[in-house]
Structure 1
Amino acid sequence: MTDEQQQRATPEVAEAVTRPASRRGPQLIWLIPLVAALIGGGLAVNALLQRGPTITISFKTADGLQAGKTMIRFKDVEIGTVTAIDLAPDRSSVVATAQLSKTAQDLLLEDTRFWVVRPQITGSSVTGLSTLLSGAYIGVDVGASKKSGRAFVGLETPPIVTSGLPGREFVLHTGQLGSLSIGAPVYFRRIQVGEVVAYALDPGGSKVTLKAFINAPYDQYVTASTRFWHASGIDVTLDSSGIKVDTQSIATIIAGGIAFQAPPSLPVTEPAAADTAFTLSANYAEAMKPPVTEVQRFLLYFDQSVRGLTPGATVEFRGIPLGEVTAVGLSFDPDSITFRIPVEIAFYPERIQAELRKGSAPANAAGFSRTVLDTLVKRGLRAQLKTGNLLTGQLYVSLDVFPTAPKAAVDWKQNPVVLPTTPGGLVAIEDKLGAVAAKLEQIPLDKIGKDLQATIENADKLLAGINSELIPAARTTLQDASQVLSTANGALAPDAQLQQNLRGALSEVSEAAAALRNLANYLEQHPESLIRGKPEDEQ
C-alpha cells in the first residue's frame, strides 16, 4: 500500500481551534429559586393581607378546646382557629387566643357572644350531637353594638335565642323557680311559642326574675292584661263535676314550662312592649283571679281550733271569693287568762259590684265606709270558719249575715279593724249537741222511771182483778144473750104463728088500701055524691 492509499484510508481529524472566551449572562437554573422566592413572598404578603384580627376568649375551663384544632364557626362557616390556650394570671379561668379571617372582622363587636358547642342533653332538648364526631368548636353570635372588641368572655352554656331572631323578650317575677330552667318551653293555647332564656335571684332574695323570649308572630298575643303561670307537672282539680287532670305537654311534666293567656272577660288591648314585667302565678286558677288594687285588712278572733286554716285560704261571702287569709297567730290575754287566735285577712272590696259603689257617696278608696260596715254588722254580718274539704280538713273563712246572732260591733280602735265572729262548722254542731245534752240532764229520769214502774204494777193488779171478777160475769151475760137470740130466731121462723099473723094483717091492710083507692077514684069522678049521696040506680 502506497503512502497515498494510507492517507485515503485514515479519516480526517478536525483540528482544535482556540477561540476567545465570550461573556455570557447568569445561568437559567438560578431563575428557579428566584421565582420560588418571589412566589413565596407574594403568598406571604397575600397571607398578611388576608389575615384577620387576633382575639382572646376567656372560659372557666378548657374542656373540649385544643390549640391548632378547635375551630371558630359562624353559621357553620369556619372563620378562625384557636392558636393557643393559656391559664389566666389569676388562675380563675383560661384564655384562648384565636386567629380569625379578615372576613370576620366585622363580627367582632363588644356584645358578640362566644361559647363552646358540646353535646348537651337537657329535659327539653338535645343539642351538639354532631360534635361527637367532629369535635367541639366555638360558636359565635354577633351583637348589636357599634363598638368593636378584641377581648371577650365566653358563655358557659349556649344561648337559647340568638340575635336577629324575630320576637320579643319579657320579664317574669315569681316567688319560686320550681322545675323551670333555661330552655323551658313557653306555651300559648298548648302551642310552644317561646323559651326561658335566663333567670336570676333578686338582690333581696325574696323573688326570682326570669326572662322569656316569645317568637314572632306569637309575641303579639302578649298584652298588658296577659297572665303567666307555671305549667309544670300535672294540675289535678277535684270539684262537684269530678276529677280534672290538666297538663300542657309531656315535656312540661319532665322539665317544666310556662303558659300565658289573657282572661276571656277582659277586652283585647295592644301588644305589650319588649321587657314588660309580668307576675308568674303558681297555677291557672291563681293567674285568672281579678287584679287587686284595693286591699282592706281586718282582724278576726276565734276561740275554736284553727287546724287546717293556713295563709292563702280563701275568704268567701256565700261562695264568692272576696279575699284571703294572710296570717294566723296566737295571743294571750293576761287579764282574763285566756288564749285567743287572731286571724288576719285581706279583703278586696273592688270585687263587689254593689250599688253603693256607683252612687254619689261610695265607699272610700280603702274599702267599705265606716257607716256601711257598722250597718252590716248590726244586721248580723259575721265571720266564721267552715270546712272546705272533708278529706284534708282544710278550712276557710266565710262571711255571712246571721240575723239571730248576738249583738256585736266593729272595733275601730285596733289596727287592723276587728270584725266580730261566730262559731261555725263542727263547733256550732257541738254547741247544739251540748245544749241538747244539758236539757236532757235536767229531765228527772230517775223519778220518771219510778213512776213508770208503779204504773206498770198498778196495771198488772187491775188486769188481775179483771181476770177474776169481770170474766165470769161476761161469760154469764154472753149465755143470756145467746138464749135471747135463740128465742128471736124461733119467733121469726117462716112457720111461726107470728109470721102467719103478720101475713094476715098485711093482707087486710092491702084490701083496705084497695077500697080506699076505689073510693078516691069514685069521688074524683062524682064529687057531688058527697052532698047528694049515691044515686038510686047505683044503689
Structure 2
Amino acid sequence: ENLGSLEVGSPILYKQVKVGSVQSYQFSKKKKQLVIGVHIEKEYEGLVNASTRFWNASGITLTGGLTGGIQVKSESLQSLMAGGIAFETPEAKAPLQKRIPRFRLFASHEEANQKGTVVTIKVDRADGLRSGTPVRFKGLDVGKIEDVDLSDDLQSVMLTARITEVPERIARVGSLFWVVKPELGLIKTSNLETLVTGQYIEVQPAAKNLGPQKNFVALATPPESAKQEAGLSLVLSAARRGSLKIGVPVTYREVTVGKVTGYELGQTADRVLVHILIEPKYAPLVRSGTRFWNTSGFGFDYGLFKGATVRTESLETLIQGGIAFATPEGDRMGNPARPEQTFPLFDKFEDEWLTWAPKISLGK
C-alpha cells in the first residue's frame, strides 16, 4: 500500500540472510498501489514458489503492556537501518505459474501469516460496511472484510473478505452471501442488534461440493430455507392483484398460516393467478369447500339508517395486504385440497363464512 522506508538496494531476507534486493518501484496502472521490483539471486531462486509470502521487515515493532513489559522486534540491524523485505515459503512444492510472478507485500509478518481464503463479494452499496466488518454463519464469525472498493464500472461495490473458518466449505460454488441490517417498521422489526454492532455479512455455505469459487454476488434479501418453503402450494384466481405482493400473510381466523409466494397473469390474460403456500401444519385446514378472500385495506358498510361500519382483518393486512380463508362444516367441507389446486379469490367475505368453525385436527 505504501513504500515505507524501502528503496532501491533494500535487502530481501530469508531467515535473516540476504538473498536478493529491491531493484525498482513504481505506481500501479491505477496508481492505487505500488509495484516493487525485486531480484532473487540465482542460487536462492528455489526458495521462492507459489506459496511464498513476503512482508515488509523495515523498522521495529513494539508490543507489550503494563504487566507484560515491552517487546521490541526487528528482522535484522540491516533492515532496521536500510529497510528490507523478508519472506517465507510454507510449502516445498508449489510451482510458479508465471515467468515474472507477482506477490502481495504484507505490512507485517503477522499479516502475512493470516490463514484462510480470500473471496470477493459484490454488493449494490457499501452503507455500514467497512474493513473489519465480520462475515458470520449462525452467529459465529467465520471471516471479515479486508477491503471495500468500487467496481471498475462504478455500478457496484466490491468487498474483499478473508474466510478463516472452514474456508473449504464456504469458498465454493453454491454458497450464498447477503448483508444483514436493521429492519424497522410497523409490520416487521428485526436485526436490531445491528444498530449497536453494525451491519455484517451472513453466509449460507453450499450444501454440496461443486468446486471452489472465489467471486460472489450478494443477495438482495436473505434466502428462504427449504424448511420454510415446505407446505401446500395453491393457486388463487382473481380479477386483479390489488395490493397483494410476495410475502404478504395468508390467515385463518386471523392467525398467519401461510404467505403469498408469487403472482402472474392467467393464460388468457383475463385473470391474475396468485400463488400461495400454506405451512405444513395448517395444510389440513384447506378443503375443496374453502373460501378465500382479499383482506387488503379497508371495507365499508353503510346505509341510510345504520350509519357506516369500517372493517379490516388486522393492522398487518391493512398496511401490506393479505388473504384470509374459511372452511365450512359438515358435508360442505369437502375433500382435502390437492397441491396446486385452484380456488377463486373473492374481493370480500360473506357474513356466513365468518361463522364457520369446523373442528379439524392439526396433528402434533
TM bin (shorter chain): 0.5 to 0.7
| Matched letter for residue 253 of structure 1 | L
Q: Residue 219 of structure 1 aligns with which residue?
A: 283
Does the alignment pair 1:63 with 2:127?
yes
Aligned counterpart in structure 2 of residue 254 of structure 1, from 319, 334, 339: 319
Q: Calculate percent identity across the aligned residue pairs.
A: 30
Does the alignment pair 1:282 with 2:347?
yes
Aligned counterpart in structure 1 of residue 182 of structure 2, from 90, 98, 119: 119
CA drift at 1:184: 2.5
| Matched letter for residue 106 of structure 1 | R
Structure with greater strand share of residues: 2
Aligned Cα root-mean-square deviation (Å): 4.5
Q: For residues 306-356 of structure 1, give each alpha carbon's deviation from its aligned partner in whole angstroms, at most 9, with x where no partner exists.
A: xxxxxxxxxxxxxxxxxxxxxxxxxxxxxxxxxxxxxxxxxxxxxxxxxxx
Does the alignment pair 1:156 with 2:220?
yes
State the secondary structure of the residue aligned to 2:227: coil
Q: Closer, same or farther in 2 for the Cα pair 1:104/1:168, shift >3 Å?
A: farther
Distance 1:103 1:139 in 2: 15
Aligned counterpart in structure 1 of residue 254 of structure 2, from 190, 204, 207: 190
State the secondary structure of the residue aligned to 1:63: coil
CA drift at 1:183: 4.0
Distance 2:260 2:170 in 1: 26
Distance 1:130 1:94 in 2: 24
CA drift at 1:217: 0.9
State the secondary structure of the residue aligned to 2:332: coil
Give structure 2 stretches of 5+ with no counterpart: 1-74, 76-85, 92-108, 354-364
Distance 1:88 1:99 in 2: 18
Aligned counterpart in structure 2 of residue 272 of structure 1, from 338, 344, 348: 338
CA drift at 1:103: 2.2
Q: For residues 493-530 of structure 1, give each alpha carbon's deviation from its aligned partner in whole angstroms, at most 9, with x where no partner exists.
A: xxxxxxxxxxxxxxxxxxxxxxxxxxxxxxxxxxxxxx
Q: Residue 97 of structure 1 aligns with which residue?
A: 160
Aligned counterpart in structure 2 of residue 79 of structure 1, from 135, 138, 142: 142
Q: Closer, same or farther in 2 for the Cα pair 1:65/1:285, shift >3 Å?
A: same
Distance 1:203 1:107 in 2: 42
State the secondary structure of the residue aligned to 2:196: helix
Does the alignment pair 1:178 with 2:261?
no
Q: Residue 228 of structure 1 aligns with which residue?
A: 292
Q: Which has the higher contact order (CA 8 A, sep 6+)?
A: 2
Give structure 1 stretches of 5+ with no counterpart: 1-32, 289-539
Q: For residues 377-427 of structure 1, give each alpha carbon's deviation from its aligned partner in whole angstroms, at most 9, with x where no partner exists.
A: xxxxxxxxxxxxxxxxxxxxxxxxxxxxxxxxxxxxxxxxxxxxxxxxxxx
CA drift at 1:74: 1.8
Q: Closer, same or farther in 2 for the Cα pair 1:69/1:281, shift >3 Å?
A: farther
Deviates more, 1:221-230 or 1:130-139: 221-230
Distance 1:181 1:121 in 2: 19
Alignment of 1:306-385 (within 5 A): none
CA drift at 1:271: 4.7
Distance 1:200 1:134 in 2: 40
| Matched letter for residue 133 of structure 1 | V
Distance 1:56 1:156 in 2: 16
Structure with greater helix share of residues: 1
CA drift at 1:199: 5.6
Q: Closer, same or farther in 2 for the Cα pair 1:219/1:93, shift >3 Å?
A: farther
Distance 1:120 1:164 in 2: 23
Q: Closer, same or farther in 2 for the Cα pair 1:64/1:272, shift >3 Å?
A: farther
State whether residues 142 and 163 of structure 1, in contact with CA within 8 Å, keep that contact through their aligned partners in structure 2: no
| Matched letter for residue 313 of structure 2 | Q
State the secondary structure of the residue aligned to 1:126: coil
CA drift at 1:192: 1.5
Distance 2:263 2:177 in 1: 20
Alignment of 1:396-415 (within 5 A): none
| Matched letter for residue 76 of structure 1 | G
Distance 2:325 2:305 in 1: 25
Aligned counterpart in structure 2 of residue 130 of structure 1, from 175, 190, 193: 193
CA drift at 1:118: 1.4
CA drift at 1:62: 2.1
Distance 2:342 2:173 in 1: 27
CA drift at 1:133: 1.0
Distance 1:162 1:98 in 2: 24
Q: For residues 96-119 of structure 1, give each alpha carbon's deviation from its aligned partner in whole angstroms, at most 9, with x where no partner exists.
A: 232223425435665543221112
Deviates more, 1:169-178 or 1:255-264: 169-178
Q: What is the TM-score when the length of structure 2 is the normalising length? A: 0.53
| Matched letter for residue 194 of structure 1 | G
Q: Closer, same or farther in 2 for the Cα pair 1:92/1:199, shift >3 Å?
A: farther
Distance 1:69 1:283 in 2: 53
State the secondary structure of the residue aligned to 1:253: helix
Aligned counterpart in structure 1 of residue 210 of structure 2, from 142, 147, 156: 147
Alignment of 1:489-500 (within 5 A): none
Count of matched residue positions in the alignment of Structure 1 and Structure 2: 248
Distance 1:202 1:127 in 2: 36
Q: Closer, same or farther in 2 for the Cα pair 1:186/1:207, shift >3 Å?
A: same
CA drift at 1:137: 0.7
State the secondary structure of the residue aligned to 1:72: strand
Distance 2:186 2:313 in 1: 15
State whether residues 58 and 95 of structure 1, in contact with CA within 8 Å, keep that contact through their aligned partners in structure 2: yes
State the secondary structure of the residue aligned to 1:56: strand
Distance 1:152 1:134 in 2: 24
Q: Which has the larger radius of gyration?
A: 1
State the secondary structure of the residue aligned to 2:317: helix
State the secondary structure of the residue aligned to 1:140: strand
Q: Residue 421 of structure 1 aligns with which residue?
A: none
Alignment of 1:438-517 (within 5 A): none
Distance 2:301 2:245 in 1: 26
CA drift at 1:247: 2.9
Q: Closer, same or farther in 2 for the Cα pair 1:240/1:171, shift >3 Å?
A: farther
State whether residues 124 and 185 of structure 1, in contact with CA within 8 Å, keep that contact through their aligned partners in structure 2: no
Q: For residues 22-68 of structure 1, give each alpha carbon's deviation from its aligned partner in whole angstroms, at most 9, with x where no partner exists.
A: xxxxxxxxxxx9xxx9xx97998xx67x62x44332222222221x3
State whether residues 169 and 205 of structure 2, in contact with CA within 8 Å, keep that contact through their aligned partners in structure 1: no
